[in-house]
Structures are given as C-alpha cells and as structure tokens.
Chains A and B, each alone.
Chain A
Amino acid sequence: MIRLVKSMRAKKNFRQLVFSAFAVAALLFMFIRAQPVDHDMHNSLTRDLRELQMRDIELGEAVLQHHYRMLHNYDGVVAIMQRMETLSARLKEHQQYRSMPDTPEFNEELKIMQQRIVQKAAVLEEFKSHNAVLKNSFLYLPRMVSVVLERIAFINIGWHEAFEFLLRDALLMSVSKSDVAHQNLKKSIIAIDRIIPGMPGDVRSSAELASRHAKQILEHEKLIIGQFAQLSSHGKDHVGSGLEQLYLDYYQDQQLAASKYRFVLFLSAMLMLGYAIYAFYRMRGEEQQLRIAATAFETQEGIMILDAARRIVKVNSAFSRITGYSPGEAVGRTPDMLKSGLHDEEFFRERWETLARDKYWQGEIWNRHKGGRIYPIWLTTTAVSGVDGHVSHYVSVFSDITLRKQAEEQIHQLAFYDPLTKLPNRRLLVDRLRHTMTAGARKLDHGAVLFIDLDNFKILNDTRGHDVGDLLLTETARRLQDCVRGADTVARLGGDEFIVMLEGLGVEEAQASAQARAVGEKILSTIRLPCRLGDFEHHSTCSIGISLFHDQEISVDELLKRADTAMYEAKAAGRNALRFFDPSMQAALENRSLLDVDLRHALSLKQFALYYQIQMNSENRPIGAEVLLRWKHPIRGVVTPVEFISLAEETGLIQPIGMWVLETACAQIKAWETSPLVSGLQLAVNVSARQFHQQDFVQKVSEILTKTGAAPNRLKIELTESVVLDNINDTITKMHALKQIGVKFSMDDFGTGYSSLSYLTQLPLDQLKIDRSFVRNIGTKHTDLVIVQTIIGMGNSLGMEVIAEGVETEEQRAFLHDAGCLAYQGYLYSKPLPLKDFENAVRSGSFAQTGTVL
C-alpha cells in the first residue's frame, strides 16, 4: 500500500521532472535560435566575399593591362590568384564554423565558386605564357620585318608590300582581334610563306622568323579573346557573387528568425517574471499562512499530527506539556503509547471506524501521562486527505479536561448534593425516590420515607450562631448515615430537615412498617446523644414523620408531603417522637380528594342548597336572614361548609359556588318581593375574602342584581376581617362601588381578626356582627363581656347596626339588649332552615316565640 503510494508520488515527480527537462530544452532551443548570426563571423564572411569579388575584378583589369603592355610583372596577378584561392578556402571553412549552413544551395554555390577559381587559375597560366609569347612576337615581328624590308628594299615591290601588309595586319590584329583581322593576317602569312622560298639566303632566316612570329601572333591573339572572357568578369557575375547573394539572403532570414525567437524568448521571460512576481507574493502569502499555522500550531491545545500509518509525525509544545512526552520521544511512535488501559479495544475500534467513515471523531479519552498519572482529554481527530483522495495524515487536537471534569464533578455535586453536609439534596433525593418507586412497583417491594426535623434548631441558630448550627447539621448528617444501610439514602432537604429513604423493606406492610419504625427509633436515640459543637455540648432531639410506599400510586411530592404531615404530627405530639402517616390521615386525605371530585360536580349536579337562619330584632320581629350554604351529597348526606369550604377555597371552586350562592340569594330576594311577609327581609350572604378580591366581583354582583332583578338594598354582603388584611384599598374601592348600587355590608366575626380598628373604620360598613365566641362567654368571661360592650358602643357610635350571632339563651339576649345590641341571630330563635321550612316558619310566626323550632 505504501509502496503504491510512493510510486504514485514518484510518478508525479517523474512527470514534473520530464516537464521541467522539456521546458529547459525548449528554452535552450529558443535561446540558441534567438542568437543573431555572430557579428564577427558575419563581418569576416562578408569581407571575404567582398574581397573575392574585388580580386576578381582586379584580376580582369590586371590581365587586360598586361595584354596592353601596361604591366610587365606577373607577381601581381599571381598574388591576386593566390589570394582568391585563399579566400575560396576560407569561405569553405566558414561553412565548418556554421556561419554558412551546410545546405545543397550553399554547397552548389561554393562548388561553383571553387570551380570558377580553378578555371581562372588555369586560364591565367595560359594567359601568362601566351601573353609573354605575344609580347615578344610583337617585339620581334616589326624588327624582323624592318630588317627584311631593308634588305629587299628595291628587289621586289610585291615582297615589300607583302611584308608591309604582314606587319600591318599583325598590328591590326593586336588592336582589333576580330575575325576579319584574323582572316587578313592569315592571308598575309600565307602570302609571305609563298614568297620566302624565293628570297635570298641572308634575308630568308629573318623572313622565316618574321613568319613564325606572325603565326604566333595569329594563334595567340585568337586565344587571348577567350582568355579575356574567362579572366575578366566585367559585366558578369564576379566570382563569389552568387555565394554572396545566397549568403546575404540567408543572413537576413537568420536575423529575422532570430528576432522572432528573441521575441518569443522575451515573452517567455516576461511570463516567467510575471509568474515569479506572482509566486513571490503567493509565497509571501503562503509564508504568512505558514506563520499563522505555526503560531496556531503552538496553541494551548495539544496538537499531534500522524501519518497514514498512524505514526506521530509532529507535535507541538502543548502536547508535551499535557502528555509529558517530548517531541523526540513522541515522533515515530503511535498514540498507543498514551493509552491508559481504561478504554477497551471496542472503544478504539469504534473510534477508527468513525474516522474512516466520517473523517472525523470527537470524544473523551483517558490517557496516561509519562509520569504515570491518568488524566482525561477531549480529543478531536480529523483525517486529512491528500490530492489523490487517500488519507495522508491525521490531525488530533486535544485539551486536558481534568479541570473541566473537576468542575463538572463540582457542578454535579452542587446540583445534587448539599454543600454543607455533602448529603444528596432534594433534587437527587426526588430522583432516587422516583427511581426506587418505579423499581418497587414492579416488585411490590415496600419502601419508606423518614422525614426528620431537628427540634428547636432555629433557637440554636439564633443563640449560638450559624456556624454552630452548621456544625450540628453536619454532625446530624453523619449520625443519620450511620443509622442506615448503604443502599438507603440520607438526604438533606434544607434547613434542618432531613429525609431518609429506605428501600427493600419487603412486600408485607406490617414488616416494612416495623423495620421503618426500628430505623426511626434508632435515629431518635442517635440524635439524642450529646453532641459536641465547638466549646459546648448540645443535646438535640428530632421529630420524625414516616410514610410507607410500595407502588406508584402517589407521586413523590405526595409521598414527601405525607411524611411531612406525619412529622408535624410528631411535633404536635410534643417533639422527640416519631409518627407514622395516619391511615385516618390518609383516609382523611383520601376523603378529601374524593370530596374534591364530588365538589367539582356538585354545582352542575345542583347538589347545593341555601339554608336560611333568621335574624330577629329586639321586638321579636324578623329583619333578615343569613344565607348559609349546604351541600346535599347523595352519599354523605348534608355536608356543612366547614367540611368543604376550605377545599373549595383551595381548589378555586369557591368562585362559581360563591356566585351561585349570590345568584340564588338574589333570585330569592326577587321571589320574595311579592310576598309581604318576607319582602322586607334582608338576605346576608357570606363572601370570602378571595371571592371578594376577584377583579370582576363588583361587575359580577351588579350583573347578578340586574339579571335577577333583585333590589340591591335587600342584599347584605358579609365579610370577615381577613378581607381587609388582604388589600384594604381594593376592599374600600369595591365596597364603595357596591354601596353605590345599594348593596349593604356587614363585618362578620367582628373582633376575632387581627385587623386594626383604623382599617375597619375606613370601610363603609352597615353592620357589625359580634362573633359567637364572645356571645357565648357572656356571663362567664368578663373580658369578653367588655369586648361585646365595646363593639356595641363602637358600632352605635359609628352609625352601624350591631347584630350578635350565636345567641342561644335569653340571658344572652337580654344582656345584649341592655348593652344596646338590637339584632340577634342564633339557636335561641332558629337554626338554619331549608327554604321551605324557613318560609313556613316565617309565615307561621314561629320565630316570634322564643324557643327553637327545632
């Protein structure tokens, strides 16, 4: 696998190498071609070519001059010829040195040049020889002819003439060289030759000589023309001109080509320069990147870079700081060296699988420091792929999360444990309870909750200070823990409240109960033991409330509440005691919950009824009635408000019920309107503080009045003092608002509340109701008597009616009457009656008699 990767990389390198080599070769090629023809070589070549042609001209001229007797020294033409031969050889050499190419055209021209030179050399030799002969012949012919002429001066005119002609024609020949001259000379020579045999002996040799010279002239002059033609290039191409032309064309082409290549090279250079600049800036950018990367590398987090074979390639200083291994120790090894042994193979397999699949893995790993310490890290590993798509490196970044873990632990602790006692807190307890209850439900196993409250803890805190209190709490916590098994939980709820949760108490309730009691007793006695708090000894007790559970029938909150209730029972019983949550308490609770259900339906099922208790004045005449709510439960029978009102108030049912009461009362008022016996009666309806403080209470009352059509002044709303306690301003506002409509107000249970008189005097009350407790004590308790008197006096002074409730004896009535109270309500007259009975009683006037009806 690695070899394959290496070979692929090598192939890439090879390709790069090939490309570079090719680029170099191309540039080299262009550079060579971009060179113009070497200046010196070109100059020397053109100089030689020029000279060759010049020498050629010189040669022609010299030859001519020789013939016309202007030159006598052949050294010159010899030198010229030799020079031309030298130049020819040099020009051939130029081809060797590349200033001339080795092409067929050039070779042809060179050959032509050489051939012409060779030819000229040969012809020159001819010329030299013949010219010398001609020279001498022209020297001797006239001499011979003159000698002959002298001798034959008067012998033969014909001869004389012939020789004269001979001389003339020879001279003409020298000048003209034409065919005509040639013919003439020939004729003259023939003529002479005919004469010579007939000439006298002494003159004959001269004549023969003359003839011979003439023949020389004839022969050589003819030849000389051809030699001239070959030696002189006047008007024709000089030797080497063809070559020169060829070369100049070639030179031009070369220069042009070179300039083209130069241009290309220039472009390449510009491109390279451009690329170099670009690469320079990019390199700077890359350097910047590298610098950033290097800086980033040296972060606080440990960085470890692995190669594809999982061997460590590079680590930063943070790595060493965290793991304890220096780079030298780490590089080359695998991360296995950091293993703590706490993770199984499965863990690591999963890690590498995830890495392979997602190219990424994050998680917590416990490693071993070089020094042996185990520490946790949060590790992020990323797989880096190379350009070929295969993973080339792994980059791992990790940080030591020991502190974080500690913080987590701390948070966990804080979240679930009480900081002072280190016991589980309420949250944890609830969680455990839930857990246990779920588990218990399956097994029908019993468990128990012990609600433990330290007695008089507040006093200790206040007297000895919170530090001491804390000491007690911690000691208590410790002692509690000693009292329970490991599986059980001791928790601190807060303050001085502790919970002990017992589980696994068995399926039998009695047995479970006994066990719980035993534990409770143990706790009581343990807590009772003296406790050293700082400098002094403290004796402390506690109250324990125990509640059993064995299924999920109730919620955790409910369970705790029961235990709490039981604990309060224990406290109520005198402290330092334990109480089980009473079944009857349970029953009562159950009953209550049942009641709650029934109560919700009572209104819709029309189970409510209004009872009326008559209110009489001092003249024994009915003035009004208090409306009292009764619940006719099909099973329970008649349920008095005492039993359900608090529940109604808790559940909020009081609202609809209360409104129903008001509505029914008002309807009744309206119904009685027509009946003179009852039309004057004022109905007093009790309204709870909660009901009264509803935002829309005034509106509702008004609506009811409107709806029923009842006369508002027949309605009297009874409030208790607690209504004032809640919100005096609201009370005043609402009372005024309703009073404006005409509704009357009465203060019920006057004197029993905590409100101040100043508050009360602010209320627009019409009536005060003396509480029955005072009335009852008339005659027995003097203080209550005084209170009654005071109330009556105050009421009368303030212009309010005063009515006493709970009047049961005539004695009481008489006293009240004497005190100034002129209205009475109570069993003396009647108990609350259902409507029919009430109406009958009013009609029959049975209220007038003293004595109860029932």
Chain B
Amino acid sequence: MIMKSGGLVLALIGLTMSATAYYYWYSTPAGQDPQVISGQAEDFADWNEPITPIPLELKLDKRKVALGRRLFHDPRLSRDDAISCASCHNLAKGGMDNLPLSTGISGKQTKVNTLTVFNSGFNFRLFWDGRAATLEEQIDFPMNNPCDMGSSWDEVIGKLNKDTEYRRDFTAIYPGGIQPGTVKDAIATFERSLITPNSKFDRFLRGDKQALDKDELAGYELFKSLGCISCHQGMNVGGNMYEKLGIVGNYFADRGNVSEVDFGRYNITKDDEHRYDFRVPSLRNVAMTAPYFHDASAGTLENAVATMGKYQLGVDLSGEEITMIVKFLNTLTGIYQGETGT
C-alpha cells in the first residue's frame, strides 16, 4: 500500500518536472530579428560605390501593406477627421504636397517643409532634425502635433475600433487587435513599400551605360568632383548623416529671420556643436519635391543647387554647371509601382 502511493507520487513528480521543463526552457524568446529598418546594408556587397541603386522589390506582408495604405489615407487619424497622412504626403504628387509649408487641421500650418514619403524607409533618421529613428516613431509626431493631425492614440484607436472592417482586418493580422503598436506597424509597413526603383540613374548603376546621356553623365561627374557627393551619397543619395547648413558661408546670417526650427539638430541634442545641423535630405525624386530646404527657401532645383554650392562648397557655380547638375538630379526620379490612391 505504501508502495502504491509512493509510486504514484514518483509518477506525479516526473510529470510535474517534465511539464515545468517544457514550459520553462522551451519557450525561448521569439528570437525574431527586428525589422531591418534602413539601408538593408547587408544586401549590398559594395559600400565603396558612393551611390547604390534602390532594390527592385521589398518582401513585405501584403496584408499589412494594404491595411497600412487604408490607414495612410484615413482622415480619421486626425482630430477633425479632415486630415490623413496622404493629405500632406500625397502619393500622386511625389509623396509630399509641393507646398512650402503644409496645412494641418483647422488650417494650422507646419513649421517646416514636408519631406517626401517615398523611399523614406531608407533614411536613417526622419524629420529635418532627425528626431525619429524609425518610421514607426515618426507617426507619433504628426498624429499628436496640434498643427498637424492634432489627435491622440486613444482618439484614433477609438475611432478605428468602431470600424468593423478595421476590426476584422486587424484581428486577422494582429493578435493584439487595434493597438497603437499595430496601427503604426501597418502604416510603417505600407510606407516602406513606397519605393521608387528603376530611375534612370539606378539603371545606369545596375550596368546600363546607355541610361544616362552625355549631359546627365557630365552632371554626375560634376556632382562628384564638386564634392556634393560627400554628403549626398548612399542608396538614398543622402538621408544617412547630419551636416551643418552653411559650412563655408553663413546661410542663416545671410537669410535672416532665424527661428527655432533653424537650429535643427540642436533642438534634439541641445548640443551647441549641433546648431544648424540638419539631416541631409535624400535627393531621389528631388525633381518632384519642390520647394527645397527646411524653410522652402529654394523654389526651384536650380536655386537649391546654387545655394548649396555657395554655402556648402564655397563655389559660385556657373549656369552651365547648374544645368548639368540639375539634369543629373532629374535622373534620380524613380517609378512607384503601387497604387497612389486608396
């Protein structure tokens, strides 16, 4: 009788231990690789080339992209249900609104020029002052900005929850349902899908030597020899470093009306060294994203090029030089394969 109960106890011990073991050790962390955010540098064997082509295709969850697209175009993300992401980042117009400053809810204006959403996934930081490290982080700022969408996550989640389609779609993709994290993930996934490969220059880089004509090629050579390429390099032709606006000349002194937004990175780091430092913008599709600079001071590409040459390089570019460079810059316009609408 002792033995029977003893045996039972032993069996129970064994079972308990096995169960605990299974629960304890074999629930490893997901070991997921976090999303590679920018550059996908490992994909490129050659970092020696100053500019590298955009990948032709990205492997993204189609459902998330579709959901993100809907959200991107959904004005319910703003307080007055008037502004969606697409309001300022118009996909048909090149990913931004071609306005010096954008208008948020209730007619309020943003403080700086809106950057393009295209290829934004390849930038190492987002915003002129680089305050967002990822696309997901970036979404918080316009959402909560009273000049932008003036909303909050509680508000947005509440509105989204009322939509049965959203609820259904979210639950299908995300176990957590409609959460700030999942909404951001959907939108960011969609934004990452907004790539414009196969620009003329990319084709040139991929080996098609005929893709550029003489002037365009000359423009690229100038771009390099003048030293523009020192900052505007990488896959996104920029977007991977900070630099001072006004290295050789004092841009802000000459322009005047210096305001807080002009301090750039200083606003984030509060380091005097970083005053007037801005994240170098990407020049891809630059031909489509006028006006230029954070203050939209250059209305044309020629103006922008001339300004850059004067204050960054200390060079007074000739008209011919500018033309050739502009021609080159035009070759950076790629093709968006997806839909521009909802």
Contacts and interface: CB of A to CB of B under 8 A. Distances in A.
Interface in B34-59: 34, 37-42, 44, 47-52
Interface in B101-142: 124
B217 to A, nearest CB: 18
Given A32-B20, A129-B243, A72 B48 contact: yes
Interface in A180-206: none
B227 A135 contact: yes
Contacts of B314: 140, 209, 212-213
B52 A73 contact: yes
Interface stretch (A33-41, A587-595, A667-675, A833-841): A33-41
B248 A212 contact: yes
Contacts of B25: 35, 38
A248 interface: no
Contacts of A72: 48-50, 229, 233
B256 to A, nearest CB: 22
Contact of A78 (B16, B41, B247, B315): B41
Interface in B241-255: 241-244, 247-248
B24 A32 contact: yes
B17 A31 contact: yes
Nearest to B236: A75
Q: Which of A90, A128, A136, A140 has the most chain B CB atoms inside 10 A of its CB?
A: A136
A272 interface: yes
Interface residues of B, number: 53
Given A73-B52, A73-B234, A78-B41, A139 B241 contact: no
Contacts of A125: 241-242
A140 B235 contact: no
A841 B92 CA distance: 201
A283 interface: yes
Given A73-B49, A209-B314, A24 B241 contact: no
Task: Tell me whether chain A's interface is mostly helix, strand or loop, or mixed.
Answer: helix
Given A73-B51, A82-B124, A140 B247 contact: no
A75 B277 contact: no
A75 B240 contact: yes
B164 interface: no
B21 interface: yes
Contacts of A20: 9
A93 interface: yes
Contact of A28 (B20, B240, B247): B20
Q: Which of A44, A71, A82, A93 has the most chain B CB atoms inside 10 A of its CB?
A: A82
A97 B230 contact: no
A78 B17 contact: no
Contacts of B34: 86, 89-90
Interface in A251-283: 272, 276, 279-280, 282-283
A279 B1 CA distance: 11
Nearest to A28: B17
Interface in A67-93: 70-76, 78-80, 82, 86, 89-90, 93
Contact of A40 (B24, B28, B49, B247): B28
Contacts of A280: 3
Given A74-B234, A79-B42, A132-B231, A24 B48 contact: no
Interface residues of A, number: 51
Given A35-B21, A135-B227, A74 B240 contact: yes
Interface in A89-140: 89-90, 93-94, 96-97, 125-126, 128-129, 132-133, 135-136, 139-140
A76 B234 CA distance: 8
A216 interface: yes
A91 to B, nearest CB: 12
B29 interface: yes
Nearest to A283: B3
A40 B30 CA distance: 12
B49 A31 contact: no
Contacts of A93: 29
B313 interface: yes
B16 A28 contact: yes
B9 to A, nearest CB: 5
A167 B2 CA distance: 98
Given A75-B41, A216-B247, 19 more contacts: A24-B9, A35-B21, A70-B48, A73-B234, A74-B234, A75-B44, A75-B234, A78-B234, A79-B40, A79-B41, A80-B41, A90-B34, A97-B28, A128-B240, A128-B241, A140-B315, A212-B314, A272-B10, A276-B7
17 contacts: A28-B13, A35-B21, A41-B28, A41-B29, A62-B47, A72-B233, A73-B47, A73-B49, A73-B234, A75-B52, A79-B42, A82-B39, A125-B241, A133-B230, A140-B227, A140-B314, A283-B3
State the 8 A-B residue pairs at the shortest beta-carbon distance, nearest first.
A79-B41, A76-B47, A136-B227, A72-B50, A128-B241, A75-B234, A132-B230, A97-B29
Interface of B: 2-3, 6-7, 9-10, 12-13, 16-17, 20-21, 24-25, 28-29, 31, 34, 37-42, 44, 47-52, 124, 225, 227, 229-231, 233-235, 240-244, 247-248, 273, 277, 312-315
